[in-house]
Amino acid sequence: MKVGKQVKVISYYPPEAVEQLSKLAEVTRIRKAEYLREALDDLLKKYAGTLRSAGGKPKRGS
């Protein structure tokens, strides 16, 4: 997903998952936010067919 204008979203996660994400970010020197954006992008790709059939066709290039 191309990174452009972004919107702040607040979410809650299990502490263990946040600890693992923090360790991963520390070891790889990649920000936690980048990993979360990647995960959301992967999830939306996985359900792209569902979105299309529900009339929520995603914009190209976003």
Contacts of residue 59, defined as CB under 8 A and 6 or more positions apart, other chains included, come to none
* d(C-alpha 24, C-alpha 12), whole Å: 18
What predicted TM-score, i.e. pTM, was given to this entire model? 0.74
pLDDT at 11 over 60: yes
- Where in the chain are the domains? 15-53
d(CA 3, CA 12): 23
What is the helix (H) or strand (E) element at residue 28, kind and residue range?
helix 15-28
**For residue 58, how many other CB atoms are within 10 A of its CB?**
13
State the pLDDT confidence band at 55, using cuts at 50, 70 and 90. confident
The yes-or-no verdict on residue 59 having pLDDT over 80 is no
Residue type, 42: D
